[in-house]
Each structure stands twice: as structure tokens, then as C-alpha cells.
Amino acid sequence: AAAAAAILAQAISTQGPSGNLPERGEWPRLRAAMGQCAMEPANELCCLFRGPLPVQLAATVLFHLPSASRIRGAAPMNAYHTSVVVGSSEYTFSAAGISILVPLQSHEMLKTDTEVTDFGFTSEDPRRMVSALQSYFAPGTYDLLRKNCNSFSDCALFLLVRQRLDPNYRRLERLGKAGQKKIGLMNILSTVGLDYKENPAADNFKLDNVIEHLQALS
């Protein structure tokens, strides 16, 4: 993993303005989408549950790293922002905690195509989902690599339809974790405006432990 991270870090460091990394002026918008800037949380769930409701995953590419294809033959690597749409509401996680928005609202600022995937229907009340997850995804606990919107989408999908988020949506994060420990991959990204610092409030978060807890609720 360290060798792969080193190759990717070298590729990132050589990307110029004509490459696929965002230019410096684009990073405030991307930081907001990734949760480093707080979105407005929803304080009330005012609608009565009338299930079953359709469940969809919304995914938008934040930025693209074509040089990742040099890593042991891996496909080009994307960083994603994801959210889960249940019926007429979108659910996502940011520095503000769990937010409830109109569908695809958190993706609009990215100004690029959003891929929407159907996950069938759920008989779970979305209010129960929020109640079950809000202690794990509380305001102020967001971490870019260790506890982000994709972590939340994974848990929400499991609770709603007993399916997991495709690991491809989290490839860059997994490599980023190794890179931060071994060679400072995120420090390299900070040179183009993406500053990463571990959030101590996310230190005890373990995704697999949350999934086990959700499984016990059924």
C-alpha cells in the first residue's frame, strides 16, 4: 500500500494546470461538497412516513486522477461526493452533521453530472434511519478521510435496503489513509488548496462497528 501511495503521490505532484486536478480557485467549492464547509442541517422531519419509498444513491465526481492507472494496473481514480435519496428527500453528512435536503441539492454546487443509481424500495421510516445514525454522525465529527459523506451513505444504504456502498466510491480515501500515514499524500494535495487535518472527534469511529450495530437493530 505504501508503494502504491508513493506512486500516486508522485503522479499528483506532477499534475499541472492542464491536468485533471482542480485548479486552486475550484477548491472552496469542492471543500464545501466534501463537508469541510457546513451545510444547513434539517431540524425537523415534518412529513408522515408513507412507505415503501424508493431509495437512490447519488454520486458526483469531485476530481479525477488519471495517473492512478499507473498503480499496479489500477483503473483511473476518482474522488466522490455521495448522498442517499429516499422518496422526496436527500440525506447526506457534512461538518453540520446529517442534513436533509431536496434531492441532489448537495450535488448542485459541483456543476457536473451526477450519477443516480436505483436501490429498490424500503419500508424503513427515514426518521428511524436518522435517529439510528445521528449519534454516529454528529455535528463536528466529520473527517475528510475517516468519516465522511461516503461513510454515511454506506451506513444509510445498509439500514434502508441491506446493501453496501460500492468500494469504488471510497478507493481514493483508502489510499489517502495509507498515504497520510506513510508519505503525507494529503499534504501534497494541500499544495493545491485542499488542507487535511485529522479530526480528533472521529478517532473512535469504526465503520464496520456501526454496520454491526445496525444489523443488530433488525
Q: Is residue 128 part of a domain?
A: yes
- Count of domains forming the chain: 1
The model's pTM: 0.75
Q: Is residue 94 part of a domain?
A: yes
Secondary structure (3-state) at 110: coil
Q: Is residue 12's pLDDT more than 60?
A: no
pLDDT (0 to 100) of residue 8: 37
Structural domain includes residue 166: yes
pLDDT-based confidence at 209, cuts 50/70/90?
Answer: very high
With H, G, I as helix, E, B as strand and everything else as coil, classify residue 187: helix
Residue 193 domain flag: yes
Grid look-up 506532477 returns: 14
Please check whether residue 191 lies inside any domain of the structure: yes
Q: Which residue range(s) make up the domain with 185?
A: 53-217
Domain annotation covers residue 17 = no
In a domain, 198, yes or no: yes
Does the residue 11 lie in any domain? Answer: no
Output the DSSP codes for 142-172: -BTTTBSHHHHHHHHHHHHHS----GGGGHH
Task: Return the CATH number at 154.
Answer: 3.90.1720.30
Q: Looking at residue 174, what is its pLDDT? A: 76
Rounded-to-integer distance, Cα 41 and Cα 27, Å: 22
Q: 47-67 pLDDT, tens per residue?
A: 566 779 999 999 999 877 655
Taking residues 2-30, what's their average pLDDT? 45
